[in-house]
A and B are shown apart, each in its own frame.
Chain A
Amino acid sequence: MTAEAPRPFDTASAGASAPASPVRLVIVSAGVSEPSSTRLLADRTAQKAIDLLSDAGVPASVGVIELGPLAVDIAQAIVSGYPGERLQTEIERLAAADAVIASTPVYKAGISGLFKSFADVLDNDLLIATPVILAATAGSARHAMVVDEQMRPLFAFLRAMPTPTSLFAAPEDWGSSALGDRIERAATELVLLLRSGVGTAIAESAWAEYQHQFAGNASRAERAASDVDFNTDLMRLAAGGSALAS
């Protein structure tokens, strides 16, 4: 026993051995002003997560996907059905993320249409079992439930793993230490999810059970015959089998 009081959440000793390569955190921010409080909330959260990971001896990197500059690409992808090169690059970066911090402003009592449109062009299996912190900013505390009522179902559809704590910041929150506490709590949850390896374990053991897109953008997407499971009802039917069998 050391004299030091135990940390409220012992993220440093949780989970198995630290991953060899740096953990990739990716921020998705739909903030559009400069500077943007939506981005600021994500940055503070990412910093806290990095600090906690660093305490545990886990190196981490943070990438940022700013949706504002991609607005036209996202709209084009919606109407054409396919992302252009620039957007494709960002989607691939998101697909490679070990954890995501998703941050959006609230407009007209809902998440930014830009954020939703970006989510709409993602493959359904892009973020399966990926730990995510949900965050939103708004001009009034009356929008506080938007994160849990709109972002949480969206990420549930994507089969991502949102942390129990979501973040919301109205103007008055920026002067309150309670926001910092909530950021720490959410970051702690994210780091614990990440370090437990549960996301990877879920994706590894249950990947075939989700709906997938052949040659899609998900990091585990089937890209060639060697990745494909031929032991399915449909594949047996494709090879002259019967849909009635078994």
Chain B
Amino acid sequence: MQFGIFTVGDIAPNPVTGYTQSEAERIDNIVRVAQRADEVGLDVFALGEHHNPPFIPSSPTTLLGHISALTKRIILSTSVTLMTTNDPVKVAEDYAMLQHVAKGRLDLMVGRGNTVPVYPWFGKDIRQGVALALENYNLLHRLWREDVVNWEGKFRTPLQGFTSTPRPLDDVPPFVWHGSIRTPEIAEQAAFYGNGYFANHILAPNFHFKPLVDFYRERFEHYGHGTREQAIVGLGGQAFIANRSQDAVNTFRPYFENYPLFRGSSLDDFIARTPLSVGSPQEVIDKTLTFQEGFGDYQRQLFALDSMGLPVEMALEQVELLGTEVVPVLRKEMAARRAPGVPDAPVHATLVTAKYGDEAPRQPRPNPNRGDNLSGTSPYQDSDSEFEAHFPLAV
């Protein structure tokens, strides 16, 4: 079971002091939060992707690349990588490169994104959002698994004899989670490929996402990747922790009540009705254990806890409390309740073993440039020479 944090990388005025972090400060602070998460033994740090103020992560692979150099064990991920407005070819290239520099400590979560103007900014039509996400992922999946891709789809220019470089680390693509809060087609795609399915979970009533999670589990089994209990499920969560319950509520209240998303909502109501935990470590533990009860055994639990204008010292303290007081107990408790045969989420090492067993992983070495910036139908020394690539006609 993996535990970690995910952030949207928002900047909000601190409602207590009125101080607003600069973009420069917030970027530095996110790096510090990720480092602390690594130090306290959390398993995952996931970063969102946004293309408008007051959010900073427009370029997640750049920031995650930097973080990868400053951390040792933590898996870096995204929450989410926009599979609608990004070119899947560039996603394949950027994340393969990140996977290399992070030495395999990378997976990603793909999703549609919910900011309407992002679609027109990137020349896309939001009404085609689901189809875009599905087609783009289908292409990404192939680009990471086939040396040479001939492809034609509805939303991007065709590819003729295209090789996405670098090839994934050890020729094993990063594990992919599909994030969705309402669309069975996205859960279906996750199930079809045997990928993970992540329900953001927060903001909605408790167990609101159970039908979608169950749908994914059933389809995962349908496609023969394992039993429904073995499907790879991730859930979001939101927490504010203090040693004394009332301190947590009192400290957190102004941040919650002044955050635009929650204006007009009552904190107490939100704690009662949604996965938000505000309280002592034990209260956060108890509530998180209800997730396992309700959704079945799952593989990844991410918490949002550095948002809403929290000063960085407070965010770091939250990460510390999560990593030292909450997660160690959750690891033990969840493991004890876990049914036998439920797998962990795949990571690079297990994917390498699954693909190669005891053999050495493939290390693709390109053939020399022919002089036309192409390396022929067999771009690598060990590429399948029988494969027929269709190149653009020379003019």
**Interface set of A (CB-CB < 8 Å, partner B):** 75-76, 79-82, 84-85, 213-215, 222-225, 228, 230, 233-235, 237-240, 242-244
Number of A-B contacts (CB under 8 A): 84
Tell me the smallest distance from the CB of B244 to a CB of chain A, in Å.
Answer: 28
Interface residue count on the B side (C-beta < 8 Å)? 37
Whether B263 lies near A222 (C-beta < 8 A) is no
Which chain B residues lie closer than 8 Å to A222 at the CB level?
Answer: 184
Q: By CB atoms of chain A within 10 A, which of B186, B215, B265, B273 has the most?
A: B215
7 smallest A-B Cβ distances: which pairs?
A215-B211, A243-B154, A79-B264, A238-B188, A238-B189, A237-B134, A225-B218
State whether A224 and B189 are in contact (beta carbons under 8 Å apart), knowing that A80-B265, A242-B153 are contacts in the complex.
no
Assess the A234–B205 pair: CB atoms within 8 A.
Answer: no
Among B245-277, those with CB < 8 Å from A are 263-266, 269-270, 273
Which residues of B in the span 178-204 have a Cβ within 8 Å of any Cβ on A?
Answer: 182-186, 188-189, 192-193, 203-204
Chain A contact surface mostly? loop
B211 near A223 with CB under 8 A, answer yes
User: How many Å from the CB of B155 to the closest CB on chain A?
Assistant: 7
Does B222 sit within 8 A of A, measured CB to CB?
yes
Known: A84-B269, A244-B154; 19 extra A-B contacts, CB below 8 A, are A75-B264, A76-B265, A76-B266, A79-B263, A79-B265, A80-B203, A80-B264, A82-B204, A82-B205, A214-B183, A215-B211, A224-B211, A225-B215, A235-B185, A240-B141, A243-B131, A243-B135, A243-B155, A244-B153
Distance A79 CA – B222 CA, assembled complex (angstroms)? 38
Query: Are A224 and B214 in contact, CB atoms less than 8 angstroms apart?
Result: yes
Docked Cα-Cα span, A242 to B208, in Å, equals 31
Cα of A85 to Cα of B269 in the assembled complex, Å: 11
- The one of B153, B219, B265, B269 in contact with A243, judged by C-beta atoms closer than 8 angstroms, is B153
* B385 on interface, CB distance cutoff 8 Å: no
Q: Which residues of B contact A75 (CB under 8 A)?
A: 264
Report the bound CA distance from A31 to B269 in whole Å. 27
With a CB–CB cut-off of 8 A, which chain B residues contact A237? 131, 134-135, 138, 185
Chain B residues near A85 (CB-CB < 8 A): 273
A76-B264, A79-B265, A84-B269 in contact; A239/B212 too (CB < 8 A)?
no
B134 contacts A238, C-beta separation under 8 Å? yes
- In the complex, A85→B206 CA distance in Å? 11
Q: Are B215 and A224 in contact (CB under 8 A)?
A: yes
Residues 5-28 of chain B, each 1 if its beta carbon lies under 8 Å from chain A, else 0: 000000000000000000000000
What chain A residues lie within 8 Å of B205 (beta carbons)?
Answer: 82, 84
